[in-house]
Amino acid sequence: MTDAPFPNRLDRIEQIILGVAERQANTQAQLDVLSQEMRELTSNVDRVLGRGAILDDVLLELRDSHEQHQRNFESHQQQAEEHLQAFKEHQRTTNAALQSLESILLQLIRNNS
């Protein structure tokens, strides 16, 4: 009778070992899935960070380009204002010269009459 509990104990130990092995296999499968998901997540993060770096570079180039265009616009605007002032000055001197010529012409007409 003393031998009867021994096989039951071996059966229980075997069942426990089989249960541990099954849980270990399940845990390994879950670890494999998690590892794959982690690799995919890392890949996605790398892609996003890479794109972010590219977008940062593009943004800096756009900012530089915008600033250059702004400076060019201001320069052209200043030049346009200078040309307008020069045109107005030429118009004034031309009008003054025309008035002077008109006065001379009127005097010549009066003197010839």
Residues composing the chain: 113
pTM for the model stands at 0.54
Q: What is the pLDDT of residue 1?
A: 45
- Separation of alpha carbons 105 and 46, rounded Å: 86
- Tens digit of pLDDT per residue, the chain (113 long)? 455 557 799 999 999 999 999 999 999 999 999 999 999 999 999 999 999 999 999 999 999 999 999 999 999 999 999 999 999 999 999 999 999 999 999 999 999 87
Task: Please give the backbone phi and psi of residue 4, each rounded to the nearest 5 degrees, phi first.
Answer: -65, -45
Question: How far is the CA of 26 from the CAs of 15, 36, 62, 95, in angstroms?
Answer: 16, 15, 53, 100
State the number of CA atoms in the 13 A half-sphere of 49 facing the CB.
6
Q: What is the pLDDT of residue 3?
A: 53
Q: What is the pLDDT of residue 5?
A: 59
